[in-house]
A = this chain, B = another copy of it.
Amino acid sequence: MDDPLNLVLFSGTDDKLQAAAVLTAGAAALGRPVHLFLQYWALDAFRADRIAADHGLAAEAGPAGRKAVDDLRAAGQSSWADTLRAAKELGAVDIEACSLSMDLLHLEQTDLDPLVDGVEGVTAFFLNAEQGQVVFI
């Protein structure tokens, strides 16, 4: 159980990011190192100036899903960003931006929230992942 868990985050909607944050926190609580690799729209959601903004939900959520998410948030559920911040205090959670997606979105690391530890290419991602599992979200 001490193999790293490696999450490739592609989607940037708040529901998928929350699911990813919960998996991250659960694995970190069990002592597993977790690597997050941010691509495309997930990377866009980590921009410093909009990480706390509304990033929408998956299209399939519909109005009932939207209301359920809003109600739970109003009742005090942590945002996915706060869940990730807590997970970082709990264990070894490393968050890296994909260099190709940084180019795509014309971003520098200073544009990103401090949750993001660095920028790496896909080869580095696989080398850091070692024998651990890769999960695409």
A residues whose Cβ falls under 8 Å from a Cβ of B: 1, 3, 5, 8, 10-13, 15-16, 19, 22-23, 25-27, 29-30, 32, 39-41, 44, 55-56, 58-61, 65, 68-69, 72, 100, 103-106, 121-123, 125-127, 130-131, 133-137
Contacts and interface: CB of A to CB of B under 8 A. Distances in A.
**Oligomeric state, in number of copies?**
3
A100 B22 CA distance: 9
15 contacts: A1-B131, A3-B131, A8-B135, A10-B15, A15-B40, A22-B100, A22-B122, A23-B122, A26-B121, A26-B122, A40-B58, A58-B60, A68-B104, A69-B104, A72-B104
Contact of A61 (B1, B32, B41, B58): B41
B134 A72 contact: no
A88 B79 CA distance: 36
A56 to B, nearest CB: 6
A13 B60 contact: yes
Contacts of A11: 58, 60
